[in-house]
Amino acid sequence: MKRLVWFLVPLFVLISALVIDSRSTGLFILSTALKVVDARPVEKNIAYGESAWQKLDVYPQPQIADVIVFVHGGGWHSGNNDQYYFVADAFYQLGYTVVVLDYHKYPNGRFPQFVQDVAAALAWVNANITSYNGDTNRVFLSGHSAGAHSAALVVSDQRYLKAHGLAPSIIRAFARIAGPYQFTPKWPQYIGAFGKENFERMKAGNHIDGDEPSTLLLHASGDSAVGPFNYQKLHSIMKRAGVPVEGLLYGDDFNHISIAIKLHPWFTGEVNVGRDVDAFFRRQR
């Protein structure tokens, strides 16, 4: 019976991705399917601040393990932790204690509030993750899309961690997936989320000073939602600043969503994004 479930559930997810024009719906279906097949131990909705949005989920390993903190995407206006169970499951299978965090979103939240949330969550991890079988000396950071952008600002613009008495050195390494690091907002909702007065401050590359943790930039040349120029520009800026940086630019057959979905071994094929991230993190230990 379980073999049948393993076959039917991925098939159902793939069909849904073709017929449902909603990233949120598709990711929810994927994560729900994974929970049906193999639910991981989790401590849900742990508060890292006073707001209802300031919650995180922890997936603890049975013994002390390296930690991955993942910041989900959603264009700064959508997304939640439950939709990204597939990411938690992927990294849990690789042996990490996993933290997936939620944060303020537009229109209730505006820049820099969601960036400040990421910093506050990292401060919580630094102070508390040992209680969830996490090694504070091996905390790795990752994020996709808007989440990668916010996390990139946290480690490059030091004011955010400094507000908690911390520095980017608390992060061993950072894997950034398809982030819009250098874009200038043009759509009304993005202009509203950031404010025109913050268009330079919101670009992660404008804050690079060489003190950032070792970084892996992952992007897809077929990403039409977040142009590969973000990857190319930030890679060049980090190289010039002396930041240890590696890049993985996948081909035209990858897009903005598939690069995230291929974090999970169900959907990898010839390329396993989760393994690529894990291999990079292992080199930084």
Q: What does the domain layout of the chain look like in residue ranges?
A: 1-39, 41-283
Put residue 99 in one of left, alpha, beta given phi > 0 → left and psi -120 to 50 → alpha. Answer: beta
Read off the pTM: 0.91
**Assigned token pair, 279:** 């291999």
Q: From 75, 80, 86, select the one nearest 30 (Cα to Cα).
A: 86
Put residue 87 in one of left, alpha, beta given phi > 0 → left and psi -120 to 50 → alpha. Answer: alpha
CB–CB of 28/82 below 8 Å?
Answer: yes
What residues contact 97, with CB distance under 8 A and at least 6 apart?
Answer: 58, 59, 60, 61, 65, 66, 67, 68, 129, 132, 133, 134, 135
Token pair 């060489």 is found at 210
41-283 topology per CATH: Rossmann fold (3.40.50)
pLDDT bucket at 3, cuts 50 / 70 / 90: very low
Strands 97-101 and 65-71: parallel
Mean pLDDT of 33-50: 88
- Asked whether residue 15 carries a pLDDT value surpassing 60, the answer given is no
Strands 173-177 and 55-59: unpaired
pLDDT, tens digit (0-9, with 9 covering 90-100), for 82-133: 999 999 999 999 999 999 999 999 999 999 999 999 999 999 999 999 999 9
pLDDT of 2: 43
